[in-house]
Every structure is written in structure tokens, then in C-alpha cells.
Structure 1
Amino acid sequence: MSRLSFVKYGLTLLLIVSCQENGQAEAKAEQTATGYVFHDANNNRKRDAGEKVLPGVRVSNGVEIVSTDEKGQYQLPVTDDTILFVIKPQGWRTPLSKNLTPEFYYIHKPNGSPKTKYAGVKPTGPLPASVDFPLYPQKEPSQFRAIFFGDPQPRDQKEIDFIAHDVIEELVGTDASFGVTLGDILFDDLSLFESQARGIALLGIPWYNVIGNHDINYDAPNDKLSDETFERAFGASYYSFDYGTVHFIALDDIDWIVPEGKKKGKYQGGLGKEQMAFIKNDLKQIPEDQLVVLMMHIPLVDVEDRQELYRLIEKRPFCMSISGHTHHHEHRFITKADGWRGPKPHHHVINVTVSGSWWSGAPDERGIPHTVMADGAPNGYSIITFDGKEYNLDFRAAGRSAKYQMNIMAPEEVTTDQLAETDVLVNIFNGSERSKVEMMIGKSGSWVPMQHHEGIDPSFKKLSESENGVKEKTYRNLPKPKKSTHLWHAKLPKGLKPGTHLLRIRTVEMDGDKLQSGRVIRVLPAKETAATEVTEK
């Protein structure tokens, strides 16, 4: 029997192929799901008499997207492995789970998930006569903030506790409208989804999740079945929603591949035909002057079928994307060198990770590893402010002041005859090739441009060599240093007088943010000690 695709709806006799627990293909009859989107005025999640139906709301089966009619009703084809979901419109919210994860979906798996190490979806039984989606009105200003976590990636409950103490506690009381984890919610132990979600729920805001390569079932025989435990916990592995004037698309770019005759699989970055069809159908209904944000785990430049996605977004003047996965922080500008054909480069953010370098390095006074990332930036998260078509990303270092935005590397002391040969390096954690960085000594000097410098952060190199060289240590080794894209370099100016000086660094970021910090250095007379230092005032 040939494989048939369900790209049209309303046909009840179409046959499709679905994979079962024994890995064999069996024919399943397609059905038509129908239901309503409505204002759940009494908050009981049921459509009661007199409750207002909502026309013009989009609903999807993961490929097709239809809008509810004037009666608030939709129809879509489903198979025995379909997740129906409502695309949350502006000014409304979906129900939330007890852990504040949005419940915007209905899973239709009459026979449930195949047996795997970590449980999937229980049998859902026959398709209900009406699959309804309740919504609740809420205010959504055009300016709002959202929190983005890259790779919290806890191995166990101890590391979930690290997350709670390192980032959750300081974010309690946030004014962000919602948050997103950009994949690698966990580190392979999928039994911990519930515990991780409970901790994040303390923030009191809706929290969306993107699937990562450490969030899938490694014993699945194919990509389609690799998401079963994630689906049980969070629903559809790709979806979209509106908030304010922004359209968000959460992508599943983890393509799980099990070679024929093999039991062990591997992953690569990929979207696949069904998801690409969904993206295409979704964007068809989004105005070109609306800001679109693509959220994924593997960076866009590492997705195998990205060129097809590029064709869908490159003509949009307002579109950005954000990912995690690589455990460093970077602003990428995708150009024709990667096959991009748009009139201007596409801005892709590889987001700072909550787990930093996988919870490695020596523990601090709280018992939490410092887990500095291999590009020299600290672990942490981003807060993005959206305002109409504009957005502004702020970097936050875990457990640090919001003012901690750079690490200035200069010697503690230098003699006057060494000034011109002495390097100053600064790692500006949220910096990019579009940043403007300057240096000044004291208050009466002049601002001197610093040169953008991609390379190894020497402070991280020194730290990793020192810590990794400790014998019988009780913490994990730091990773090898990797090239940082947010380093700047200059030499100390000649003519500084002996004394204690404040070296100042200031930067203007690509979004206009102005940051400034400083480091105290001592200048000594040539070939002498600092017997008569003069403190600058």
C-alpha cells in the first residue's frame, strides 16, 4: 500500500500510514474533527449554553490551518496520531495547566503512544463529537516583555534545584508577560519534566516550551514517535500564537534518524515536510508588516532544510529568530553567504544558556557551579522587550546584578614604560559585530575606539586550565574554550602617570542600549615599585 498524505480536509475515507509499537505500518482511516472556539465565561473549560463563540480564530492539525466560521466552528482531518491546536489570537489566552504551561491543544491518539522508556500519551479513545477550545480575554499591550531560557538542561533533581536558586528566585515578581524555554528543557531524563515545570511555575506567568535534542525519546524508531513524552507533557512539538502585535512560531527542528537495521539513532537539525507545510500555511495568514519571531533549539544555520524556510521569511521586513543548543551567546546575521536572498541580513540570536557550560566548574558559596560558558560569558537568560515591530534583547547573568554586562581584562599593575604594549580586552556578553565599543582612562581622558576581535577569551582559558587541572575534584570539567564573537581589543594609552586609575569601557549596542563599566588598574613608575602612587580623583 502506498503512503498517502493528508493535506486536504473533509475526506473521511482517505487512508494513511501510521507507525505502531511494533514498528509495522498499518492503514488507518482518516476522520474529520469538528469543534468550536469559545469564550469560557465561567472558566469550566466546557462550552455551555449562552457562552459566546469566537469566529475567525485559527485552528490547526499540524499541517492545515482553518479559521472558525461565523458560528465559531471549524473542521479538520485527523489521523490516529494527530494533535489539534488553537493558534492563540491577540487579546486572548488559552487555559493553563497547574504548572502554567499553556493547554492550547487536544491530542488524538486512540491507542496511545508506543511503549518507550519514558511514558508517552495514554490512549485517548474515540474522537469526541466536538473538540472545543476555550479562550479567556486578557489585555495585551503592544509593548511587553518575554523571558527566554536556553538549555536549562538539568541531569537530575539536584540540578533542577540549581536552576531554582540561580535564576528562578531572582525572577519571582517579573513583569514579563510570558516565558519560553528554547529546548533542552532536561538532559535526557524525561521523567523530570513535571519537576522542572513546577519550579518555573513559581514565576507566575505562562511558560511555553520548545523541544530540544535532549527532550526526545532516544528509543523511538523514527522522528514521528520521538516526541511522545514531550507531547504528553506539553502538547504539540511545533505551534504558533499571537501576543500583542507579535506572531510567535515555536519550531521542532530536531530530526531523529534511525538508519534501517539499526537500533541506535542520531539527530540532526531539520523541520520536515509536514512542519514546513504548517509554517507556510501559517505565514500566509500573517501580514508582512507584522513582526514574526521564530523560536527553535538548534540554530537556524545548522538546520538541513533551512533554505526552504529562508524562502518563506526572507521577504518579510520584520522577522527575527532565536535558538539555544550551542551553549554560548551570539548574534548571527545570516547573509547570502548562507543562501539568504533577502534584502537585508536575517538576525538570529543564539541565546545564553541557563545551564551555562552544562553545570560545570567549581561550585560557589551556594554550592552551585559557576558554569561560565566557553565563550567567556556567564550563564543566564535573555529578556526581550517587544514594541510593535521593534524588539530589544537584554542579557541577564544568573545571580548577578543587571549591570553586570561585561568582563574587562587588564593587568592589576603596569609600569609606565609598558603602557603602549599592554593589551586591554573586554568581553561584552551581549555584544555583536554591530556594537560600538570605546575605552577611556579616568575622567579627563578621551574615548578611544576598541577593535572587534573574535577569538578565545583569555580569562576563560586561564580559568578552565586552572580548574580542570585540579586532581580529585568533585565538580565537572569546564569545556574547551571556543571562539567568542563579542570580544574587543585596545592598547593602554601612553602618558599615564603613576597612580591608581579607573579604566572605563562604554558600548552602544545594535538596538541602541548604552552600557558602561570600569576596572581599576595601578600604574607604577618604570622599573620601580609603587612607593609614591597618586590616586586619581
Structure 2
Amino acid sequence: MKKLILSISCFVSFQAFAQQSIQGYVFADSNKNGKKDRSEKGVPNVAVSNGSDVVITDKNGKYDLNLSDDNQIFVIKPSNYAIALDQYNLPKYYVTHKPKGSPANLKYEGVSPTEKLPKELNFALIPSQESEDFTSFIFGDPQTYTMEEVNYFRKAIVDEAKTKNKGKVFGISLGDLVGDDLSLHTPYKEVMKDMGLPWYNVIGNHDMNLDAKDDLYSDETFERNFGPANYAFNYGNTHFVVLDNILYPDPRDGKGYWGGFRQDQIDFLKNELQFVDKNKLVVISFHIPLFVGDESHFEPKSRQAFMDIIKDFPNLLILSAHMHTQSNQFYGEKHGWKGSKPLHEYNVGTTSGDWYSGELNEDGVPVSTMRDGTPRGYAFLKIKGNQYQLDYKVAGKPEEYKVEIYAPNVIADKGWNSSMIVANVFMGTEKDKVEYRIDNASWKQMKKIEAHDPTYNAMVQKWDLSKELLTGRRPSNPEISNHLWQTKAPNNLGVGNHTIEVKVTDMFGRTYTSKRDYKIEPKK
């Protein structure tokens, strides 16, 4: 909830017209007309929020909620109910209350002054059976800076992903929907509606009003285009929370941004989770990961407050993006985590990859491999009851493409040999077992390393070593990948062709393999 700070001289006049509260009903909209008809009953025990406070409907579905002059008022969708969708397939679960509108002089349009709220503000829920076993799409950073890149996003990601939406129930984009040009929010929505699913959106640091003077107002255009930046909903036996975790301007120096939460966001999380069954799986989505590299990237007090609020939920998953690499982190005591088991954060690879860089593929779209060697793609969150599995789909490649094997094409027979086999397991975690074998011999374990991915490194070097200008834009320099495994490439197996096979047993117990050949030739 955004709080208006008033001078004493204007307090009395403001009190005269400000609406202090709102009441209404959450009801089962059996005929789907969006209106509460006399025959339609209220739904009890449903959460309604103003962005900070959270109340629960009574036995008749009635709620009563405090207001300021700047609120997103929304229902937290319960399981076994659906929400009507707008023309872009965005759920219409909220009403904006902003009688003074957004601050003036924003470069990108915010919310116009809203009309007086009705005597009753009612929220329609459509009865709908929901399985506790379901799959949803997870997109990291589309981050389009131009209409050309919007079209890249459509061709590289959406045109493929929309053919795989059978059995999927909704999708989430984890922020940086666009790249600072907020007029591209609407073209992004136009592309995303083709997914044909309800779609939820997270605000990213490139979706903010960069001319805002206070973090409270950095999401004005996002609110206009997508609604609340902090909200929640239920599906099956899973509770989903979406949070804005970007402080802008950075309160340390007034420049740039900082990962973290305002107090009203912490209050919202605490207030709404008190009504969530501890048996549920809780999935929390935001843009900036909790811990990465230099810990100064995230405000420590609000991070600790966040972790303390969620610590009593045994089934948790954090989803983030932002990094344009892919990783899985497991937090414990050294991070300040006090839960009963490690806290898993999946930092999702991006749909824009390495910002639409690299050579153009056969579709005229930049290859855009990420700096840790993860190809551009999108993720699936697969939930069964209150447990989850994760999967990553490389755009434009077969479903089974999970590993890239780097190895020499040819090496000399016997003698000195420094050649290595490196397996980049795109979804790799510290809990995975990675093995290899040559020519169907016995399986041997590979060693996990943190290094530059050699396949990606060679891709970047191609740009620097080429004597002719390549099409597209040079990729970014490589960054350390934490999902690599390696072993020495044997050269004592005899002259001829040999097959390397890598087998991964992942943290969910799934097994998959990948192969490639190399050749041993006599020394010259």
C-alpha cells in the first residue's frame, strides 16, 4: 500500500474527500457476467488486500478493507476458482484506486485519476476445478529494447512455446518485460496473448519509471499496464506470491537501483501468508535473486525479514531472473536462512538470452546464448500436490537437449594429452550426479567445476578472430558457469572414432543422456 505524506495545512481538506475504506463481496459468478446477481452466493474465507493489509471474507463472502489515496485493491484467487481475463489474457483480479492519479511529468504514462469507488466493490470468482498436479510456463527477461527485438522474442520464443501449451495452466514472466522503453509494454502484451493462457507478470528493473523520485512511484506505468506489482494467487495445492524486489532510486546514493523490499511489501507478505496452510507449496516470484556475487546487490535487512517470514513453510521455491545466466542456489544457515531444509532459488535463464546478441540463425534471429553457456529458452514448473519439478526447454532445439558436450574433434594417439571433456548441464545443480563413458564402457563420475563454458568462449572468440565482420552483435564476454562438469579426454583407446556419452541424474531423480563423437589419429 502506498502511503501519502501530507502537510498539516492540507490534512483537514484531504479528510473531507478521501475515502477511508471499502467493502464488498467476493462471489461465485456462476453465469460469468461479472456482476453479483441475487442468486449468486458469496465465497467465504477468501483473502482481499490493499497491497499491505489483508482481510478474509466472512461466511457471506463480505469484506471490509482500509484505504489510502493510492491502492491496488485485489482478491487473492483461491483454489478451484478462475478469474476473468482481459483482451491480453491478463487476469482481472484487481481494481486501481488512485483518485489523484500518478505523479505528473512522468516520461511514460501512469494511471489517470480514478473515479470514486462504488458503495460495494465486488470481486467475481468463476467456479473451476483445478488439479493439484499441473504445469506452468516460466519466462525470464524478454527485455526487448526495440520493436525489432519484440519480433525476435515472438519468433524465437512465443511462436514455439504456444505450440506446447497443451496441459499448461498459466505462465509467469519474471520481470524485465521490456528494456526501459515502457511504451513497449503493450506490444509485449500483444505478443504474449498468443500464448493462449492466463499470464502473470513480475516487475523488473527495466520496467520501472526511471524518472520517479521515490520507489513508491517507480511502478506507475507497470500498474497502468499490468496492475499490482505485489500480489498473490492460489492454484491446486500451491500458493503463488509475486513481489517487486527493486528499490529505486537506490536509497544509499539516489542513483541506480538496489535489490530489496519496502516495509509495505514485507507487511503484505507477512499479512497474507498468515492465512496460508503450511501444507501448501509456496512459490515466490521476483526479479532480482536473493544472493549473487557481491552481496551488496541486495539490501540485507529486508532480505532477512523476507526469509524470516517464510521460514516456517516446509515446501518452498523461489523463482528469479535478472542475471541472463542460469543457476540453482540452496541457502542455509550461512545465508541467514532458518528453515528446516535448504531454501531453493531457481534463477531462470532468459528468453532474451544474452540480450539478442550473436550471429543470426536460419530464422533471422540472434542466437543469443547466455554468458554461462546456457542457450536461450524458457522453463516449466511441474507441480504434483505440494512438490515440484523444474525443466528447461532450449528454444529451437529438441526437448531432450539438456546438455552441451565440449570435447576435441581429434587428438593424437597416446602420449602427452591435455584435452578435456566438459559437460554443460543447463539445469545442473550441486545435487546432480554427472557421469560419462566412452564406447559403452563402464560409467565414471565427472568432476563439478566452476569455469567459463568452453563452447561459449569459442563462440565469442570467433567474433574476435574473424577477419570479416559477422552478422548480428558480438556476444558478451563469458562469465563463470556453476553447472559444468569435466574429465580428461582419453587418447589411449586406439586409433579411430569414439563415442562420448554423458549421463545426468538430476535432483529430481530424472535421468537423461547426451552423446558426441571424437577421433584419435596417429601422431604426425
TM-score tier by shorter-chain length is over 0.9
Partner residue, 2:460: 464
1:62-92 Cα distance to aligned partner (Å, 9 max, x none): 1111111122110101111011100000001
1:499-521 Cα distance to aligned partner (Å, 9 max, x none): 11111000101111211000011
Partner residue, 1:55: 44
Alignment partner for residue 111 of structure 1, among 87, 91, 100? 100
Greater alpha carbon shift after TM alignment, 487-496 vs 514-523: 487-496
For structure 1, list consecutive stretches of 5 or more residues without a partner in the other structure. 7-15, 529-537
Does 2:496 correspond to 1:499? yes
TM-aligned CA distance change 1:418 to 1:277, over 3 Å: farther
Provide the C-alpha distance between the structure 2 equivalents of 1:469 and 1:188, rounded to a whole number of angstroms: 33
Percent of pairs identical after alignment? 38
Does 2:170 correspond to 1:178? yes
Residue 469 of structure 1 and its aligned partner are, at CA, apart by 5.5
Provide the C-alpha distance between the structure 2 equivalents of 1:19 and 1:435, rounded to a whole number of angstroms: 56
Q: Give the aligned residue type for 2:497.
A: T
Partner residue, 1:509: 506
Partner residue, 2:78: 89
Alignment partner for residue 427 of structure 1, among 424, 429, 441? 424
Partner residue, 1:101: 90
1:455-512 Cα distance to aligned partner (Å, 9 max, x none): 1112211211222565655532211111100000111346412111111000101111
Provide the C-alpha distance between the structure 2 equivalents of 1:85 and 1:372, rounded to a whole number of angstroms: 39
- Residues 411 and 491 of structure 2 are in contact (CA less than 8 Å); yes or no, is this contact kept in structure 1? no
- Residues 37 and 54 of structure 1 are in contact (CA less than 8 Å); yes or no, is this contact kept in structure 2? yes
Structure 1 residues 303-452: aligned runs within 5 Å: 303-304=298-299, 305-418=302-415, 421-443=418-440, 445-452=441-448
- Residues 30 and 127 of structure 2 are in contact (CA less than 8 Å); yes or no, is this contact kept in structure 1? no
Residue 160 of structure 1 and its aligned partner are, at CA, apart by 1.1
1:317-375 Cα distance to aligned partner (Å, 9 max, x none): 11110100010000001122222222322110110100001111111121111001000
Residue 258 of structure 1 and its aligned partner are, at CA, apart by 6.4
Provide the C-alpha distance between the structure 1 equivalents of 2:279 and 2:59, rounded to a whole number of angstroms: 27
- Residues 330 and 344 of structure 2 are in contact (CA less than 8 Å); yes or no, is this contact kept in structure 1? yes
TM-aligned CA distance change 1:378 to 1:201, over 3 Å: same
TM-score (norm 2): 0.93
Q: Secondary structure at the match of 2:239?
A: strand
TM-aligned CA distance change 1:27 to 1:326, over 3 Å: farther
Does 2:224 correspond to 1:235? no
Provide the C-alpha distance between the structure 2 equivalents of 1:98 and 1:42, rounded to a whole number of angstroms: 19
TM-aligned CA distance change 1:451 to 1:130, over 3 Å: same
What do you get for the CA RMSD once the two structures are aligned? 2.1
Q: Secondary structure at the match of 2:450?
A: coil
TM-aligned CA distance change 1:227 to 1:491, over 3 Å: same
Residue 300 of structure 1 and its aligned partner are, at CA, apart by 1.7
TM-aligned CA distance change 1:419 to 1:177, over 3 Å: farther
- Residues 118 and 229 of structure 1 are in contact (CA less than 8 Å); yes or no, is this contact kept in structure 2? yes
Provide the C-alpha distance between the structure 2 equivalents of 1:419 and 1:248, rounded to a whole number of angstroms: 55
How many equivalent residue pairs?
A: 507
Provide the C-alpha distance between the structure 2 equivalents of 1:101 and 1:294, rounded to a whole number of angstroms: 19
Q: Secondary structure at the match of 1:403?
A: coil
Provide the C-alpha distance between the structure 2 equivalents of 1:184 and 1:519, rounded to a whole number of angstroms: 36
Residue 218 of structure 1 and its aligned partner are, at CA, apart by 0.5
Residue 288 of structure 1 and its aligned partner are, at CA, apart by 1.8
Residue 303 of structure 1 and its aligned partner are, at CA, apart by 3.3
- Residues 93 and 136 of structure 1 are in contact (CA less than 8 Å); yes or no, is this contact kept in structure 2? yes
For structure 2, list consecutive stretches of 5 or more residues without a partner in the other structure. 292-296
Provide the C-alpha distance between the structure 2 equivalents of 1:148 and 1:418, rounded to a whole number of angstroms: 48
TM-aligned CA distance change 1:370 to 1:51, over 3 Å: same
Does 2:246 correspond to 1:254? yes
Greater alpha carbon shift after TM alignment, 460-469 vs 89-98: 460-469
Partner residue, 1:188: 180
Provide the C-alpha distance between the structure 2 equivalents of 1:41 and 1:405, rounded to a whole number of angstroms: 44
- Residues 95 and 103 of structure 1 are in contact (CA less than 8 Å); yes or no, is this contact kept in structure 2? yes
TM-aligned CA distance change 1:249 to 1:411, over 3 Å: same
TM-aligned CA distance change 1:360 to 1:494, over 3 Å: closer
Partner residue, 1:282: 272
- Residues 468 and 478 of structure 1 are in contact (CA less than 8 Å); yes or no, is this contact kept in structure 2? no
Does 2:216 correspond to 1:224? yes
- Residues 48 and 73 of structure 2 are in contact (CA less than 8 Å); yes or no, is this contact kept in structure 1? yes
Provide the C-alpha distance between the structure 1 equivalents of 2:191 and 2:5, rounded to a whole number of angstroms: 36
Provide the C-alpha distance between the structure 2 equivalents of 1:468 and 1:279, rounded to a whole number of angstroms: 48
Provide the C-alpha distance between the structure 1 equivalents of 2:6 and 2:127, rounded to a whole number of angstroms: 39
Provide the C-alpha distance between the structure 1 equivalents of 2:14 and 2:446, rounded to a whole number of angstroms: 65
- Residues 414 and 492 of structure 2 are in contact (CA less than 8 Å); yes or no, is this contact kept in structure 1? no
TM-aligned CA distance change 1:265 to 1:95, over 3 Å: farther
Partner residue, 1:73: 62
Does 2:165 correspond to 1:169? no
Runs of 4+ in 1 over 6 A off after TM superposition: none
Residue 200 of structure 1 and its aligned partner are, at CA, apart by 1.3
Partner residue, 1:534: none
1:152-174 Cα distance to aligned partner (Å, 9 max, x none): 10111111111111111112241
Partner residue, 1:483: 480
Partner residue, 1:533: none
Provide the C-alpha distance between the structure 2 equivalents of 1:419 and 1:153, rounded to a whole number of angstroms: 47
- Residues 18 and 81 of structure 1 are in contact (CA less than 8 Å); yes or no, is this contact kept in structure 2? no
- Residues 105 and 235 of structure 1 are in contact (CA less than 8 Å); yes or no, is this contact kept in structure 2? yes
Partner residue, 2:294: none
TM-score (norm 1): 0.91
- Residues 496 and 519 of structure 2 are in contact (CA less than 8 Å); yes or no, is this contact kept in structure 1? yes
1:248-296 Cα distance to aligned partner (Å, 9 max, x none): 0001101112669x9x742111111111011111111112221101100
Greater alpha carbon shift after TM alignment, 311-320 vs 384-393: 311-320
Q: Secondary structure at the match of 2:456?
A: helix
- Residues 410 and 424 of structure 1 are in contact (CA less than 8 Å); yes or no, is this contact kept in structure 2? yes
Q: Secondary structure at the match of 2:519?
A: strand
